[in-house]
Structure 1
């Protein structure tokens, strides 16, 4: 926006929509049985420097508008969100990523790339950011789920029991049952009291993320692919055996 497209959001979205649709047409012409998704990537330019700026409110609105066009055409889609301009996983990184990812999701994005770990306008990455962003993305997805409204969830009987009984809902069986099913608890986000946090060393979210990064890197590598599958891949494609690279 402002560099390789018009400086207005409307003009930028119109251009990127036309370009993306043209690309999908070319895919169909080259391979009629091929599949493609609508994947616009409009990005804001900081007009003071000419550099890409992926974390501001304009970027969030621009991405959401592009995803709205995907909804208009009824196309499966993908976009970029979470491209903070901050160089480290700090407060700026958190609010920029949360803003852009949330709006993209609310606008109907099917696939969001660069949503975790990316820093410095996509010019860098942080292992600690991957850990922190995992918590953030879980919260965003949790907030995006529909609210179940039914006689069961309105639970007027429990309200009456609380009024005439204990005066709270903490002892209700449903409260305990929904404790794990209806709530997402952060892995590294801190919800302890100030005193408990201080007694535990007063670590920041980056400190806790760094500890988890070290634990993951120091642990033995996980066998995510069966050895028999690995052997078949090596044999089929004539690859060197593992450990010989």
Structure 2
């Protein structure tokens, strides 16, 4: 497939050269002493007084040659393992929002471990998503269980690859122990490690902090599946131009890559990024900007130049509700990414600049993900597909509705959405005049009513976990009290507006 691209080869060469120049002449501020020592041992120039590390171009290129061309994210069930690049992009939910839109009240509140259990259950059944990137935090986490209270309910209720970040190496060890308990033994887990991590080792501009850099080295040293993300904000900590931001992103990714390969050669990585832009009218954080998709297109070009998988946080939105703004912001950048050859898209479920998750939006984004994959699958071209014989046989003023090809391909030739409405207006009104968000909430609720969850852990595995981690959260998926199918009658929108006004009234 020929991918869309903005830049020609000479421009990509110049970005590469400029990135090497930045790393060699300016370098990075590296807060972690172990990392500085590792850089020094492998050919970088280190100024201990200023904690500055400068990486010569030949060192960068030596380690770039060691990065594997693919990465594998594993799930509890190996049938859900994903290795990419592949023909279709791998799509994940977006992660780590502090809040959730309560499906019963419609109001935002702090997310809990039980919300994560429900989300894992739902994502397991939404076939547009390949990976459950744990979507929210757990406000009810007991002391010492901050990310354990996220990974446990996620892994307990989802067979697909699960990933998120951790605060420290101690937390990482805790989560890996959880994996060993689920697998039944350390040997069984490490034969096929099904826990995946992310990290942000770079603080733009050009700074490696202590803890996340420690995590990067720990993951690489121990062969743990993990990948870094570069997250610049255009106009705040990078130049306010796409080429200038790309030079910064590329230099920072190359520095991360070097440290990972210095820690363990052949460490799998993704050229993954979350480049957002500041709306400088008021400084707003704008992950829904179309320039995010444009930057992803250039990142895809650089990743192919380096022969590594390309990933990006796409399909994010600044909208606070599931509305038209959410629709176009969540649709445009993933589509541009797919056309540009992105291998890994992090997109599902979040609203309000990554601050909240909505169960209805999650189901809508699943449908967007499936449409993006249809686009990326491309057009099958063959003599049979040309249908010349049918065209000649049916001829002028004919109809193709009963042609053998039509009957054979009627449910496969085009994408059949489940949530998007295509009925006549009269039929839609007679059936309740529902919104797509109402239908999407009903889909998520229908999944949660299928009990027991077929993806749930065995009682034996759960007993091992509870014995090892006293006081761990319950981690069970259940339908929230009071969540009933969204109203779809003709008066439902009016009632919903009245109820919203009552909920938000002072006092």
Q: Do these two structures clear the TM 0.5 threshold for a shared fold by scoring above it?
A: yes
Distance 2:270 2:295 in 1: 19
More displaced stretch, 80-89 vs 213-222: 213-222
| Matched-pair contact (CA < 8 Å) for 2:288–2:318 | yes
| Matched-pair contact (CA < 8 Å) for 1:17–1:40 | no
Q: Which has the higher strand share?
A: 2
Q: Equivalent residue for 1:198?
A: 429
Matched, 1:160 2:392: yes
| Matched-pair contact (CA < 8 Å) for 2:276–2:289 | no
Matched, 1:239 2:468: yes
Alpha carbon RMSD of aligned pairs, Å? 2.3
Matched, 1:146 2:378: yes
Corresponding residue SS for 1:45: strand
Distance 1:131 1:59 in 2: 23
Q: Equivalent residue for 1:105?
A: 338
Corresponding residue SS for 1:181: coil
Q: Equivalent residue for 1:133?
A: 365
Distance 1:156 1:243 in 2: 65
TM score, norm. by length of structure 1: 0.89
> Which deviations, in whole Å up to 9, do the C-alpha atoms of 1:28-81 show, x marking residues without a partner?
111224222211322111112223201122222122222221122221122110
| Matched-pair contact (CA < 8 Å) for 1:24–1:37 | no
| Matched-pair contact (CA < 8 Å) for 1:117–1:129 | yes
| Matched-pair contact (CA < 8 Å) for 2:338–2:375 | no
Matched, 1:53 2:286: yes
Call closer, same or farther: CA 1:239–1:185 in 2, change over 3 Å: farther
Distance 1:63 1:25 in 2: 22
How do 1:166-245 residues align onto structure 2 when only pairs under 5 Å count? 167-225=398-456, 227=458, 231-232=460-461, 235=464, 239=468, 245=474
Out of 301, 305, 312, the residue aligned to residue 79 of structure 1 is 312
Call closer, same or farther: CA 1:68–1:37 in 2, change over 3 Å: same
Distance 2:248 2:302 in 1: 12
Distance 1:170 1:234 in 2: 58
Q: Which runs of 5+ in 1 are unaligned?
A: none
Distance 1:198 1:23 in 2: 55
| Matched-pair contact (CA < 8 Å) for 2:269–2:308 | no
Out of 299, 311, 324, the residue aligned to residue 66 of structure 1 is 299
Corresponding residue SS for 2:354: coil
Call closer, same or farther: CA 1:215–1:243 in 2, change over 3 Å: farther
Compute the displacement of 1:158 (Å). Answer: 0.1
Matched, 1:37 2:270: yes
Compute the displacement of 1:105 (Å). Answer: 1.5
Corresponding residue SS for 1:192: coil
Corresponding residue SS for 2:273: coil
Distance 1:48 1:222 in 2: 47
Compute the displacement of 1:240 (Å). Answer: 5.4
Corresponding residue SS for 1:23: helix
> Which deviations, in whole Å up to 9, do the C-alpha atoms of 1:185-240 show, x marking residues without a partner?
1111111111110110111111111222332333324121562xx63575489635
Call closer, same or farther: CA 1:195–1:236 in 2, change over 3 Å: closer
Corresponding residue SS for 1:180: coil
Distance 2:443 2:468 in 1: 34
| Matched-pair contact (CA < 8 Å) for 2:315–2:329 | yes
Q: Which has the higher helix share?
A: 1
Compute the displacement of 1:241 (Å). Answer: 9.3
Corresponding residue SS for 1:112: strand
Distance 1:243 1:221 in 2: 21
Corresponding residue SS for 2:278: strand
Distance 1:109 1:235 in 2: 40
How many aligned positions are there? 241
Call closer, same or farther: CA 1:224–1:149 in 2, change over 3 Å: same
